[in-house]
Amino acid sequence: MGKSTSLVVLIVLAWMVDSGALPAAGDARAGVGPGIDRFALVTRHNITLTKADPLTPLSVGNGEFAFTADITGLQTFPAYYEKGMPLGTLSQWGWHSLPNPQGYQLAEVLEDYEVAGRKVPYASGRGRSGGYSPAADWLRANPHRLDLGRIGLRLTRSDGSAAAIEDLANTSQTLDLWTGLLRSRFDLEGQSVQVMTVCHPTRDLLAIRVESPLLAQGRLTVSLAFPYGSTDWRVAGDWSHPDRHVTQTHIEAHQADFTRILDADGYHVRAGWLEGGRIATKSQHQYEIGSEDGRPLEIVLAFAPREMTEPLPRFATVRTAAADHWKQFWMSGGAIDFSACTDPRAAELERRVVLSQYLTAIQCAGSRPPQETGLVHNSWYGKFHLEMHWWHAVHFALWGRLPLLERSLPWYQSILPQAEAVARSQGYRGARWPKMTATDGRESPSEVGVFLIWQQPHPIYYAELCYRTHPNRQTLEQYRSVVFETAAFMASYPVWDEAGGRYVLGPALIPAQESYGSTRARNLNPTFELAYWHWALETAQQWRLRLGLEREPTWDRVREKLSRPTIREGVYPGIETPPYTIPRDHPSMVAAYGFVPATPLIDPHVMMRTLDHVLKTWDWPSTWGWDYPMLAMTAARVGEPEKAVDALFLESPKNRYLANGHNYQSARLPLYLPGNGGLLAAVAMMAAGWDGCPDRPAPGFPDKGKWEVRWEGLQRLP
């Protein structure tokens, strides 16, 4: 199940502090005073709610597993939250596939595109016949992430009817960030209920404690229910087909073991409770645990892809383990304190930064790349998007928590043979990484996703961040195959333009700014991708030199002859070909100098004009959560720190951060973790700097007196 990885993370973090690789708390690096009081910094942003809000459920988790709770501390009123941010119990390993009696295969959805006189197949979903293939729907929706179970309170009014969320009074809920403990309390008809919820740091295990006079009255039990797999956009459980799955139960003393069978998939659940508790079967897939004598209920539930042999810990043990874990998390790695700043936006920026650290730690730090809505929401069937992995997780390296990024990097090695096979099928060398995929690494059919290329250099970037922290032979050997095979594809992908004496990116390409989908068959040379291509090929060459190898001539030839970005009316457009720039969606041309380090391809003065042009002309409601930190990174690198801060607070519907810290986009996407991760990357860059930055404290923040930023333990952006 890979849970030992989490324990390794804790050990590595402790070693890094002891060895000096990470500063301990109190080791200020900004030259502006003593070390930061991390306890005060973190706990002043503990989340406290006093009423139910469908957009602000709170989650506990460990990167591999997360549980999202309503105002009761459990999942008691899921229907109320489904219209906002749905409740779920999700993991990195929990997936399900619907039966495939037709035997759909990816070959059925391949469409040929003309590239340099040859046909290149892409999984557009249309198929070579030109019509949309029904195989595309199945292949896109399967596998899908699975809700492992709903754990909620069954509350009964004095008249015997089921209580509604409106019946709750005096509600109060606090997520203690320092300990990872969720405390919830409320009254039902004058009777108090108190619930504590906590996740184990190294096991997919939830521990809860419920205390209330209602237990002795038989009016409160804890319900455990299991759904079928769902292809719904929002929720990962289908509760309408109990006949399609099986729950086998073995109950003995104070423990119940559940074997879950869903078509060809399955998993296991173990529940344990203290003496005085009892379990009852309520239906085929639903169980209730109550108290026989009115004593508080303490229940521990573990989830696993295989049968479990490890005994269940007690609630107190889980609570202590979580508290130790979160203290270690906050005391190691980086910290930024904005309390001395006088800009009125500083306190809100600090809140967003602290809560984003917590959210990305529990949602984005697992053994697989995360989905854009983490382990909360079933967006895109729970699949992850590899172009977003940068925005989810690069900040871990910048914040001195590199092991949390490294947990997901072996997955690229595991799918390397498949990525190489895709490249060969298209006539390229090396490895071509998918865009939207699941744990198996298979591309999902799409008329947009399969034509994106900006995820291709990402593994080289991740490897380089690892090397900057650990510049040794072991790091080079660990990632060399991924780096070299990525570079091999990148060198074979560009097309030689004989008339222009240059290599071009495209056609059959859609840039990071996906507005150019309708012209994918003729798009050429997006500004951002050109710069990123150049940087990644040169970085791969540096890896060869570090390993004692000679430079690869083909890589150099492509890099040196790569097209220069077009300049139109003094600014960089989105792409070289018509329609050049569509002022909506991601303004990704600015990422060519901000996200991407300096390269010979980009003129900083032209980029400064491009940034200003974007800020004046763009359609901001169409942008996304990571666009604002992307703009901030560019503004910082071109020497405009005031604009960098302004970009972080740009007025836009999708630059909203909810009370639970999530970056809201729309009713369809009530949370969006690339926004949180992007914010952390940008703020770390603005505080600690970047290669070649001005030699002053916090070079990405204004130095006119309002931004007295204190930071420690951060790493520079390349």
Which residue in 283, 284, 167, 155 sits closest to 220, CA to CA?
A: 155
Q: Quick one: how far is CA 515 from the chain centroid?
A: 23
Q: How far is residue 577 from each of residues 275, 527, 563, measured CA to CA in Å?
A: 72, 11, 13
- Is there a single domain that holds both residue 225 and residue 123? no
Rounded to the nearest 10 degrees, what angle do helices 641-648 and 627-637 cross at? Answer: 170
Q: What CATH code is carried by the domain that includes residue 174? A: 2.70.98.50
Q: Find out whether 671 and 663 touch, Cβ atoms under 8 Å.
A: yes
Residues 121 and 247 in one domain: no
- pLDDT, one tens digit per residue, over 261-311 is 999 999 999 999 998 899 999 999 999 999 999 999 999 999 999 999 999
Which residue's structure tokens are 């030992």? 4
Query: Are 118 and 89 members of one domain?
Result: no
Residue spans of alpha helices (H) in 562-672? 604-617, 627-637, 641-648
Same domain? For 183 and 129 the reply is no
Q: Report which of 445, 354, 400, 348 is spatially closest to residue 137, judged by C-alpha positions.
A: 445
What pLDDT, in 10s, does the model give residues 445-460? 999 999 999 999 999 9
In a domain, 672, yes or no: no
Residues with Cβ < 8 Å from 421, sequence gap 6 or more? none
CB within 8 Å of 650: residues ≥ 6 apart = 620, 628, 631
Helix (H, G, I), strand (E, B) or coil at 549: coil
Residues across the chain = 718
Q: Are residues 126 and 226 in the same domain?
A: no
Please identify, among 141, 163, 196, the residue that sits at the C-terminal boundary of a domain. Answer: 141
CA–CA distance, 614 with 636 (Å, rounded to integer) = 15
Same domain, yes or no, for 115 and 215?
Answer: no
Give the pLDDT confidence score for residue 133 in this predicted structure.
Answer: 84
Domain-embedded: residue 595:
no
Who contacts 612 (Cβ-Cβ below 8 Å, separation ≥6)?
none
Position 201: which residue type?
A: P
**Which residues lie closer than 8 Å to 207 by C-beta, 6 or more apart?**
197, 198, 199, 200, 298, 299, 300, 301, 313, 315, 318, 319
Q: What is the pLDDT of residue 34?
A: 63
Q: Looking at the structure, do residues 165 and 239 belong to the same domain, yes or no?
A: yes
How far is Cα 262 from Cα 144, in angstroms, rounded to an integer? 12
Residues 6 or more apart from 692 whose CB is under 8 A from it?
598
Q: In whole angstroms, what is the distance from residue 92 CA to residue 262 CA?
A: 17
Are 56 and 187 contained in the same domain?
A: yes
Domain match, 213 and 281 both: yes
**Hey, which residues does 257 pair with through a beta bridge?**
250, 270
Q: Look up residue 606 and give its two tokens.
A: 């032209």
573 touches 538 (CB < 8 A): no
Q: Which domain, by its residues, includes 124? A: 106-141
Q: DSSP class of residue 621?
A: G
Dihedral (C-alpha) 235, 241, 243, 245: value to the nearest 10 degrees? Answer: -10
CB atoms within 10 A of CB 470: 16
65 and 131 share a domain?
no
Domain-ending residue, one of 314, 330, 346? 330
Token digits for 502? 């240059």
On the CB side of 681, CA atoms within 13 Å amount to 33
Tokens describing residue 423: 């490249």
- Can you spell out the DSSP letters for 475-500? HHHHHHHHHHHHHHHHHHSSEEETTT
The answer to whether position 224 is within a domain reads yes
Rounded Cα gap, residues 553 and 537, in angstroms:
11
Same domain, 239 and 200: yes
Query: Is residue 83 in some structural domain?
Result: yes
Residue at 226 is within a domain: yes
First CA to last CA distance, the chain: 34
| Domain annotation covers residue 679 | no
Is 203 a member of any domain? yes
Average pLDDT of the chain, as a whole number: 94
**Cα(575)–Cα(654) distance, rounded to whole angstroms?**
25
Give exposure, 388-420, as e/b (b: 16+ Cβ within 10 Å): bbbbbbbbbbbbbbbbbbbbbbebbeebbebbb
Is 125 in contact with 186 (CB distance < 8 Å)? no
For residue 101, the tally of other CB atoms under 10 A from its CB is 6
* Structural domain total, the chain: 2
Among the candidates 299, 314, 330, a domain finishes at 330
> Which class for 191: exposed (0-12), middle (13-18), buried (19 or more C-beta within 10 A)?
middle
Q: Which is nearest to 206 in space by CA: 217, 215, 214, 197?
A: 197
Same domain? 178 vs 247: yes
pTM of the shown model:
0.95
The answer to whether 631 and 647 have CB atoms below 8 angstroms apart is: yes
In whole angstroms, what is the distance from residue 462 CA to residue 38 CA?
28
Return d(Cα 527, Cα 520) in angstroms, integer: 15
**Cβ-based neighbours of 548, under 8 Å, separated by 6 or more:** none
Are the C-beta atoms of residues 487 and 460 closer than 8 Å to each other? yes
The one-letter amino acid at 579: P
Residue identified by tokens 């070693």 is: 15
Residues in the chain predicted with pLDDT less than 70, given as ranges, are 1-34
Q: Can you tell me whether residue 270 is helix, strand or coil?
A: strand
